[in-house]
Homo-oligomer: A and B are copies of this chain.
């Protein structure tokens, strides 16, 4: 039998604050498919929403692919505007956070893809959080 798997997650307009996920607004595809190397989450955030904390990874590379809505990513000391078609690659040991703009025309929706130099089960627990650092858009 061929090694493949299929999962239906719904079209973009069906991505919502998924109940039961490990984080609000985030659906970990790799919790539902037996992924070896590629981790991926489908994400939706209502206008005005923001990530609960900054985080970084010591081993994983992450690729954020924005598909709808308007938002911002804070990356190190920079702020990057994001919208449909913005692809952001983030390397190791870089703190990042994000928000949907308060006047975003719809939910900010994106895929977050992650991989490191080995099987996801070995390299995927390398995260660090900073819950104390304020976001650059905080008043």
**Residues of chain A whose beta carbon lies under 8 Å from any beta carbon of chain B:** 1-12, 14, 29, 33-38, 40, 60-61, 63, 65, 67-68, 75-78, 80, 83-94, 96, 111, 113-119
Closest B residue to A60 using CB positions: B37
Closest B residue to A15 using CB positions: B85
Say yes or no: A4 contacts B76, CB within 8 Å: yes
Say yes or no: B115 contacts A38, CB within 8 Å: yes
Q: Which residues of B contact A111 (CB under 8 A)?
A: 65, 111
* CA A93 to CA B92, docked complex, whole Å: 31
Say yes or no: B7 contacts A91, CB within 8 Å: no
**Are A35 and B61 also in contact (CB < 8 A) when A4-B76, A85-B8 are?**
yes
From B8, B38, B87, B115, A86 is in contact (CB under 8 Å) with B8
Closest B residue to A122 using CB positions: B117
From B38, B77, B118, A61 is in contact (CB under 8 Å) with B38
* CA A31 to CA B115, docked complex, whole Å: 17
Q: Which residues of B contact A4 (CB under 8 A)?
A: 75-76, 78, 88-91, 94, 96
Q: Which residues of B contact A40 (CB under 8 A)?
A: 63, 65, 87, 113
Say yes or no: B91 contacts A36, CB within 8 Å: yes
Q: Which residues of B contact A29 (CB under 8 A)?
A: 63, 87
